[in-house]
Structure 1
């Protein structure tokens, strides 16, 4: 079942123009106040139990027949664009001695030689593309380009992506977001890392680009079925801690972390589109907490 998806390139302000998103200039005390109100909002959101007490699908419940039809109608050429980062060695997010990713290749001699390999990986962390909730998903996706809206190479760590950025990107793309659609949120991580910057983990007192509270509220209010993003939650003293990831607990939000969205941004520009079909198919791992995936955006 393909998703209808929107690729939102969060607009970046051109030189000499102020960002569409207000810089986060709040003090740590102000951040604590925001965290308190965020916790109240999140708890109330979870208490609604919008999908029932025993629900196991979370925001995949938003993917109905209309959402699947929108996905099918959004595909024109069928050209696939991979949203996955190449798997690479990285530290375990737990901080233990196990590798975040490794491959051992073996050769077994015999009348007919055989090659095989052993793959070990951690599906979580900030290095490799992975799904944070296990479902087989195919829906329409909307592309949002934050840097394009703001006129900057990438989302600024001191200006977390907010709900207004998403609204501006939608207006610039000339599209309407419907409940059940997936959101592809491009924030310029590929350019950020190409300039030698590291996006490798949370460190106390260290700000990181990403999505802030009002964008998390937009995601919940607009019934996004899945979020595919390159940067993750904003790390800034003015923002609640991991304000988007905590929506997994509150509403069962499906997240595909660490997407490679640079190629999708170029394809969206070349095809003058911000919509397409999205397919994500994780392995069936009983009891797993996530799975490395290779999402495909179909133009």
Structure 2
């Protein structure tokens, strides 16, 4: 945390969150619920509900109680009797991060590497792409860092309009999995709810997403928006910064909406 704080030079903060989607759309099948409760001359109150924390409605952080492999979650905890419909997650809930996350964030801007505004749907990102970016930008994510991977989802949406995410997006090839293990990062951030390209071809669905949470012990930051931080980083030619993430303290929760903040 002290090393991350030392990266703050200009006192500039940038949000990495996408705006909460409160209306259903072709790329938002399960929106955030929002309605006004009171609106008069003396006060106003509203109601906010998250029926699908892990969906396409909001930027969110996954806990290790989100997905499982062979009946177990990260650190070998059995799922049976530990995660239930009545009581939620008895282990690895989002409450373990109540004190927040402060770490070094490193932006990997693959469209800038390729000289394009955004990657085409179905594009696979390989370890060679990540290492080429490191050479170009002069940064490298390592142990305890947050690797934030931009493919240009929001730039494409602004240009061409929304589209069903499950029908097309760029994503990580499975060869990235051992690369992530070697780097020993703590957080992987992405611009959509899944990390696999669509169409996926021969890749099993959600393989990087599920492997990261259950086997590698990497927390996932989903549906982030890296366009603004890309501009801020490019203006300074500095692709590392202090990153803070503060999940809501939800007992037994499997994830939380978040507003990650980059500090330059």
Q: Please report the TM-score for the alignment, with normalisation by the length of structure 2.
A: 0.77
For structure 2, the 5+ residue unaligned runs are 64-93
Give runs of aligned pairs for residues 235-254 of structure 1, distance below 5 A: 235=198, 236-246=200-210, 247-254=212-219
Q: Which residue of 1 aligns with 2:253?
A: 288
User: How far is 1:213 from its partner?
Assistant: 1.0
Cα distance in 2 for residues equivalent to 1:185 and 1:108: 41
Whether 1:132 and 2:93 are equivalent positions in the alignment is no
Cα distance in 1 for residues equivalent to 2:161 and 2:207: 23
Q: Please report the TM-score for the alignment, with normalisation by the length of structure 1.
A: 0.69
| Count of aligned residue pairs for this structure pair | 224
Give the one of 142, 147, 157 matched to 2:106. Answer: 142
Whether 1:120 and 2:81 are equivalent positions in the alignment is no
Q: What is the alpha-carbon root mean square deviation over aligned residues?
A: 2.3
For structure 1, the 5+ residue unaligned runs are 1-67
Q: Which residue of 2 aligns with 1:100?
A: 31
Q: Which residue of 1 aligns with 2:263?
A: 298
Give the one of 223, 226, 229 matched to 2:190. Answer: 229
Structure 1 residues 125, 81: closer, same or farther in 2, change over 3 A?
same
Q: Which residue of 2 aligns with 1:30?
A: none
Q: Which residue of 1 aligns with 2:117?
A: 153
Q: Which residue of 2 aligns with 1:217?
A: 178
Give runs of aligned pairs for residues 40-55 of structure 1, distance below 5 A: none
User: How far is 1:228 from its partner?
Assistant: 1.6
Q: Which residue of 1 aligns with 2:230?
A: 265
SS of aligned partner of 2:44: strand
Cα distance in 2 for residues equivalent to 1:222 and 1:131: 20
Cα distance in 2 for residues equivalent to 1:214 and 1:150: 19
User: How far is 1:69 from its partner?
Assistant: 2.9
The structure number with the bigger radius of gyration is 1
Per-residue CA distance 1:109-163 (angstroms, 9 max, x = gap)? 7xx9332211111221123211112222110111111001112221233331111
